[in-house]
Structure 1
Amino acid sequence: MTGFDNWNSTLRANCGHYYATPDQASGNWAGTFDLHQRSGVDVAEIRCPPARIERTRKGILRDDQEHFFLLRQLEGETGIHHAGRETLLMPGEFLLLDSTRPAELSITGQPAAFLSAHLPRALVLETRREMPAAGRKINSAHPLHASLCGLLDAAGADDNADYIFELVPLAFSQAGARPGAGSLGGRTHRFRLIYETLERLSSDPHLSLDILATRAGLSRRQLQREFQDNGTTFTNCLIRARLAVVTGKLRHAARQGARVPIAQIAYGAGFGDISHFNRVFRQKLGCSPRSFFRTCKLNGFLAQDANSLSQPSKTLPPGRGCLFQSNPADG
């Protein structure tokens, strides 16, 4: 934690001339500003007690660099007045700030925490001719919300850099435009968004190629061609996405030492028929769901024993099942 003066200096050094004023009633003011690299861009993790942060015309003129700031609220609430819109940003929601336009952020009552991804404005505008809708927020109901969360996750890799500059302007496209994979230029990025959309919908046992095409903003034929160009099919990707959910839950249950209702997990992942589920599980992973669970559970016990002895972990040969990973390009 750092005092207001140091925090404010760090804010300006990394974000430009935003002028902060602490709430005097908040007492001993202390915040944090930590800078990370995620998805190939600078991402600041900011914690701020009650304060007002302003972006004025004077501050805009003093800065040489222009950015879009993708904000994701983590804790507390932030009132934002920007680009003719007034909104209250709640935990989990996103909002896009344009550094070339005035803004006012108000944090009252409880401290707030948020992430701020710093996107050079020229690179954002390079991918789309349409100006993104600054000042508009995105909540969990938005079709691209989960994809944005993934890009700001701590595990976001540098090879996501091109993707974030295509996805952000698509997510914040002007009202009336439907955000879909068909709007992305690169084939790799299109298929990635298609697969992310499929993953999000995979728990629906009635998910079909036509439904996915509608949600992805493509025709049925265009969607079929995307799968073909990536050497796979809709059915293979759907099975892979559902099995990834099942294996993840089985691993979690094994770590917790919990009893596992395999049929319930399968139904929850979108499988409508248990016989079909058992068959494709064995085909793809080389073992039954119950055997997979027992192997994961035993591996966990061996790892605990090894850690207690401060020796390298000894594990059983996991077989193909324990190495299963979701890979949309693998048919």
Structure 2
Amino acid sequence: MLANIAHSKLPVEQFNTELRDICGAFQTQATEQQTEHRGALQVEERFGLEFAHVATDIHAIRRSNRDVRQDDGENFFLIFQEEGRALMSQNDTTCMLQPGDMILIDSAKPSEFTFFGKFQRQLSLHLPRQEMSKRFGELIHGGKFLTQNDQTAQALSAVVSKAFAHNSNETQSNYLREALFGLIGAMLFEQASDPNAAGIDADVSGAQTLKGGLNFIDQCFSNNELTIPQVADHLGTSMRQLQRSFALIGTTPTDYLIQKRLEHACQLLLARHSKPGTQLVSTIAYASGFNDVSYFNRQFRRAFGCAPGQF
């Protein structure tokens, strides 16, 4: 939708600061090995509304209750997924955004986007809370989701694309603005009348399983006895459903568990450089969740092309 924007590498903390300046109190989470971020942030105005272009390969962006209390949450964000995938959660909605999908986020409520450290682009339309409340009243709720196949989503994308295609005069801008709000109203009314209307093509249950699996593995990966069947049991789902949910992000539960353990091992190995001899490789392997040093060595060499002791 936007013109090409030059992406650059910058420190994760710098990206976090710029994100807060543009969108409010959000927190970024990098992968354990990530110190630089590849992407861009840019703000443009069209028909009196602010659009933020966010491109990133960060692991996740979150807004907690504490973050909500730090600013006034003056906007709703209509997020257009342009490239890549994002696992999104707000209120009772958890969904996987694919290119062309969109979701309405309430900045007065906690929310979470997980990108898994893979490059993605989003366009965030900032909708003033006061105007949204005046127009739609109690119909407004964060977490409203539309897939790329939904006709309202396609119409919204067309209006926004039109706004960026050329500089409109004041009369054209006013018509485009009214068309935009009219379509947002249609989305809110349809979903209030039929909560399942936008979920036909969305693997919502799979996204919820994925989120639960990711969180459980993130918390428990260092447990040497953790197995993937235990993850499925914890979530109350089948192994097949768990495998299908992780396929949404192009991986398997086993590969994700190994990835988390290897990332943690890398951090311990790097820390060892500042205090040589403080930890044996075998100790690091066990502390990272591996219970077989030979298996750890094979997985590490496969991932990084060298032995752990050479890292």
Normalising by structure 1, we get a TM-score of 0.50
| Structure 2 residue aligned with 1:166 | 182
| Structure 2 residue aligned with 1:46 | 54
Query: How far did 1:18 drift?
Result: 0.7
- 1:17 lines up with 2:25 in the alignment: yes
Query: How far did 1:91 drift?
Result: 0.5
Query: How far did 1:27 drift?
Result: 6.1
- 1:155 lines up with 2:165 in the alignment: yes
Question: 1 CA distance for matches of 2:178 and 2:62?
Answer: 30
Q: What is the one-letter code of the residue matched to 2:69?
A: L
* 1:140-174 Cα shifts (integer Å, max 9, x gaps): 33221222102321127432233323322321336
78, 82, 89: which one pairs with 2:86? 78
Q: Mark the CA change 1:65 to 1:50 in structure 2 (over 3 Å): closer, same or farther.
A: closer
* 1:113-157 Cα shifts (integer Å, max 9, x gaps): 110000011111211233224213211332212221023211274
Q: What is the one-letter code of the residue matched to 1:105?
A: F
| Structure 1 residue aligned with 2:151 | 143
Q: Mark the CA change 1:76 to 1:40 in structure 2 (over 3 Å): closer, same or farther.
A: same
Q: Mark the CA change 1:110 to 1:98 in structure 2 (over 3 Å): closer, same or farther.
A: same
- 1:132 lines up with 2:140 in the alignment: yes
Query: How far did 1:85 drift?
Result: 1.1
Q: Mark the CA change 1:61 to 1:19 in structure 2 (over 3 Å): closer, same or farther.
A: same
**Residue ranges of structure 1 left out of the alignment (5+ in a row):** 179-331
**Preserved contact between residue 134 and residue 172 of structure 1 (Cα < 8 Å):** no
Secondary structure of 2:140's counterpart equals coil
Bigger RCO (CA 8 Å, 6+ sep): 2
| Structure 2 residue aligned with 1:285 | none
| Structure 2 residue aligned with 1:292 | none
Q: Mark the CA change 1:176 to 1:15 in structure 2 (over 3 Å): closer, same or farther.
A: closer
**Preserved contact between residue 127 and residue 166 of structure 1 (Cα < 8 Å):** no
* 1:243-268 Cα shifts (integer Å, max 9, x gaps): xxxxxxxxxxxxxxxxxxxxxxxxxx
Question: 1 CA distance for matches of 2:33 and 2:129?
Answer: 36
Question: 2 CA distance for matches of 1:62 and 1:26?
Answer: 27
Q: How many residues align?
A: 179
Q: Mark the CA change 1:162 to 1:176 in structure 2 (over 3 Å): closer, same or farther.
A: closer
**Preserved contact between residue 39 and residue 151 of structure 1 (Cα < 8 Å):** no
Q: Which residues of 2 match residues 60-79 of structure 1 at below 5 A?
A: 60-79=68-87
**Preserved contact between residue 106 and residue 141 of structure 2 (Cα < 8 Å):** no
Q: What is the one-letter code of the residue matched to 1:11?
A: L
**Residue ranges of structure 2 left out of the alignment (5+ in a row):** 1-7, 195-311
18, 35, 45: which one pairs with 1:37? 45
**Preserved contact between residue 30 and residue 117 of structure 2 (Cα < 8 Å):** no
15, 29, 32: which one pairs with 1:7? 15
| Structure 1 residue aligned with 2:191 | 175
Query: How far did 1:111 drift?
Result: 1.0
Query: How far did 1:56 drift?
Result: 1.1
Q: Mark the CA change 1:9 to 1:93 in structure 2 (over 3 Å): closer, same or farther.
A: same
* 1:53-104 Cα shifts (integer Å, max 9, x gaps): 1111111111134111000111111011111111110111010100011111
Question: 1 CA distance for matches of 2:46 and 2:31?
Answer: 31
Following TM superposition, the consecutive aligned residue runs of length 4 or more in structure 1 with deviations greater than 4 angstroms are none
Question: 2 CA distance for matches of 1:61 and 1:18?
Answer: 11
Q: Which residues of 2 match residues 271-286 of structure 1 at below 5 A?
A: none
Question: 2 CA distance for matches of 1:23 and 1:173?
Answer: 39
| Structure 2 residue aligned with 1:105 | 113
Give the CA RMSD over aligned residues.
2.2
**Preserved contact between residue 17 and residue 62 of structure 1 (Cα < 8 Å):** yes
Normalising by structure 2, we get a TM-score of 0.53
Question: 2 CA distance for matches of 1:28 and 1:58?
Answer: 26
| Structure 1 residue aligned with 2:99 | 91
Question: 2 CA distance for matches of 1:110 and 1:148?
Answer: 26
Query: How far did 1:30 drift?
Result: 2.1
Question: 2 CA distance for matches of 1:136 and 1:23?
Answer: 28
